[in-house]
Amino acid sequence: MDFRTLSASDFDPKTRGLRNRRFVANRSRSGCRPCKLKKVKCDEETPLCRRCRRNGRRCAYEPQTTRSVTASSSSLVCSATTWSPRPSTPHAPVTATCTMERPLPGTTAATGHHGAPAVRVLQHAQRHWHEIFPMPYQGEIMELFRSDNPLVRTTILAVAACHLRTVAPAAREHQVAENLQLYLALRSYRGALDTPRERLGLTGVNTLLVTATLLNMAAFALPSAEVAAAAAAEHEDDDDDDDDDDDDDVNSPDHPASSWVFSTREDRLGWLALQAGLRPLLMAMAPYQPQIADYLGSVFLGVERSSVRIRRLRQLLSDVPSHWVDAFGLQGVSDISDCESVEAYRVPATVLANLRNVEPVLHNAFLYLMFMGKTHGGFRTLLMRRDDRALWLVGFWLGLMCRFEGLWWSRQRATRDYRAVCTWLDQRKLTKGKGDAGHVWKRLMKDLHEVSERPSGVCDSEIGAL
């Protein structure tokens, strides 16, 4: 019998004189599913590639489940956990399964000695994704989160930390985590704003607008400082009188007396600054508006709605109530596009006249939120002076926001500040004015007090958000 001894040198190409194998590049397997099926080139834009957007197809990418992950001790790593967001509405399409399995650059494992670890914030986002982003197409937000853009990541973590604090406001570590994540997100946001538009490109502009909208959610929620101070005061009062009604507790964060309407602080409208900044941002991105409309529509409204719903808002004066025309000086305005350069009342008033007929369902919350993006810089100055008409406009919008169910970031502030505006204007006794002014204010106050009631016959009209 013939035996042969094998050694490691027998398999060494250099020893055996073998040539190095020719390197064969792997074919790219990226691209969306529709483009793969059609065997056409995909530009791989998310959440919609250009070809799918043009042809109205449902654009979806394969989940990245095979990529290996190597993370250092300072990186935040989410293990390969596969989970599938469920639709928020019965008729919403089921989104693709999302897998998070890569380190998050720019985030650390802990926020400090007194803060909740960032990994806890990420776990909270994963477990409560449908509550944090209660929209039918939250899968598109997840796709953005899985990207390599630090602005998107820090923004979503900031919104998740804000939600974590709202569900457990007494935990100090949650308040610290929220403040830190908001700081990181705003720092990235300011950096993106300072980037020249030419360097941003269309993708950068789209990302900037999406993150601005998401940051508005966190900015609109009541800040942790107000809630914590009110909770501490309420805890002290519990020992004195257990029979006090919560609605009569002026220390409660839900009481109208704690609203910015009655405050004298210089920073009382800080929650409005980020929202009001949307308008100059949109105006600066005017050359990209058609593409931006399609992109934002696909993220917040869904593919089938983006081509119709996101349009430049136009409405005839005949659709605005006559007493609104008299109150806000809308005479002579036949198209809202003509209102871009006129006084601060007209654009908000005309937008609200259209919003009041839009159904308060979750996929329309984005349209309501864009109201502040329509306000002029002088509108905030009017609010600081507690101008009656400016307060009425904001109060009417807050009343519209009260119609929504399931918006965790809106309910508390919208309810409190809406009641505060109603109380303030009632105390002004504007309805007792002489002549036509008193009559107009009677009708305005009637509209204001009734706007928060969820209407039964409103239509889901084709309203635009840009």
Q: How far apart are CA 356 and CA 443, in angstroms?
A: 16
- Please check the confidence at residue 340 and state whether its pLDDT lies above 80: no
Residue 18 is predicted with a pLDDT of: 45
Residues 359 and 220 grouped into a single domain? no
Whether residue 128 contacts residue 88, with contact meaning beta carbons closer than 8 Å, is answered with no
Residues 160 and 261 grouped into a single domain? no
How much is the mean pLDDT over the chain?
71
Q: Band of the pLDDT at 334, cuts 50, 70, 90? A: very low
Structure-token match 């006129």, residue found: 342
Residues 160 and 286 grouped into a single domain? no
Amino acid identity of residue 50, one-letter, is R
Domain-located, residue 45: no
Neighbours of 17 (CB within 10 A): 7
CA dist list (Å): 77 to 46, 151, 442 = 23, 18, 58
CA dist list (Å): 288 to 284, 292, 293, 407 = 9, 6, 9, 30
Residues 211 and 337 grouped into a single domain? no
- Please check the confidence at residue 384 and state whether its pLDDT lies above 70: yes
Domain-located, residue 456: no
Q: Band of the pLDDT at 387, cuts 50, 70, 90? A: very high
Residues 353 and 432 grouped into a single domain? yes
Chain centre distance of CA 194: 21
User: Residues with Cβ < 8 Å from 284, sequence gap 6 or more?
Assistant: 197
Q: Band of the pLDDT at 226, cuts 50, 70, 90? A: low
Residue 123 is predicted with a pLDDT of: 87
pTM over 0.85? The answer is no
Per residue in 368-381, pLDDT tens?
A: 877 877 777 788 88
Q: Band of the pLDDT at 22, cuts 50, 70, 90? A: low
User: Residues with Cβ < 8 Å from 252, sequence gap 6 or more?
Assistant: 230, 234, 246, 258
- Please check the confidence at residue 44 and state whether its pLDDT lies above 50: yes
- Among the listed residues 266, 171, 274, 264, the one whose alpha carbon sits nearest the alpha carbon of residue 221: 274
Which H or E run contains 398?
helix 388-401
Residue 425 is predicted with a pLDDT of: 96
Neighbours of 171 (CB within 10 A): 14
Q: How far apart are CA 44 and CA 209, in angstroms?
A: 19
Residues 206 and 269 grouped into a single domain? no
Whether residue 420 contacts residue 412, with contact meaning beta carbons closer than 8 Å, is answered with no
Q: DSSP strand E in 257-385: where?
A: none
Q: Band of the pLDDT at 122, cuts 50, 70, 90? A: confident
Chain centre distance of CA 189: 14
Residues 437 and 322 grouped into a single domain? yes
- Among the listed residues 80, 322, 292, the one whose alpha carbon sits nearest the alpha carbon of residue 205: 292
How far is the first Cα of the chain from the last one, in angstroms, to the nearest whole number? Answer: 86
**109 vs 134 pLDDT, higher one:** 134
> Could you give the number of structural domains in the chain?
2
What's the sign of the alpha-carbon dihedral 194, 219, 292, 102? positive
Q: How far apart are CA 20 and CA 18, in angstroms?
A: 6
Per residue in 204-225, pLDDT tens?
A: 888 888 888 888 888 888 876 5
User: Residues with Cβ < 8 Å from 333, sequence gap 6 or more?
Assistant: 317, 339, 342, 346, 350
Residues 161 and 302 grouped into a single domain? no
Residue 282 is predicted with a pLDDT of: 73
Domain-located, residue 68: no
Q: What is the span of the domain harbouring residue 408?
A: 251-450
Whether residue 395 contacts residue 421, with contact meaning beta carbons closer than 8 Å, is answered with yes
User: Residues with Cβ < 8 Å from 320, sequence gap 6 or more?
Assistant: 330, 349, 350, 353
- Among the listed residues 447, 52, 324, the one whose alpha carbon sits nearest the alpha carbon of residue 43: 52
Per residue in 192-201, pLDDT tens?
A: 888 887 788 8
Q: How far apart are CA 180 and CA 106, in angstroms?
A: 13
Chain centre distance of CA 280: 18
Domain-located, residue 344: yes
**99 vs 278 pLDDT, higher one:** 278
- Please check the confidence at residue 181 and state whether its pLDDT lies above 50: yes
Q: Band of the pLDDT at 249, cuts 50, 70, 90? A: low
Structure-token match 């985030």, residue found: 107
Domain-located, residue 71: no
Q: Band of the pLDDT at 345, cuts 50, 70, 90? A: confident
Whether residue 333 contacts residue 346, with contact meaning beta carbons closer than 8 Å, is answered with yes
- Please check the confidence at residue 93 and state whether its pLDDT lies above 80: no
Whether residue 317 contacts residue 333, with contact meaning beta carbons closer than 8 Å, is answered with yes
- Please check the confidence at residue 108 and state whether its pLDDT lies above 50: no
- Mean pLDDT in residue range 64-79: 32
Residues 150 and 212 grouped into a single domain? yes
Structure-token match 């109380």, residue found: 423
Residue 454 is predicted with a pLDDT of: 67
Residue 248 is predicted with a pLDDT of: 52
Residues 393 and 340 grouped into a single domain? yes
Domain-located, residue 313: yes
Structure-token match 């050359």, residue found: 287
Residues 95 and 140 grouped into a single domain? yes
Domain-located, residue 386: yes
- Mean pLDDT in residue range 10-33: 53
Q: How far apart are CA 391 and CA 125, in angstroms?
A: 35
What's the sign of the alpha-carbon dihedral 370, 373, 55, 60? negative
Q: Band of the pLDDT at 445, cuts 50, 70, 90? A: very high
**272 vs 253 pLDDT, higher one:** 272
Which H or E run contains 207?
helix 197-220
Residues 215 and 347 grouped into a single domain? no
- Mean pLDDT in residue range 26-43: 78
Q: Band of the pLDDT at 444, cuts 50, 70, 90? A: very high
- The rounded percent of the chain whose pLDDT value lies above 70 is 64
Domain-located, residue 232: no
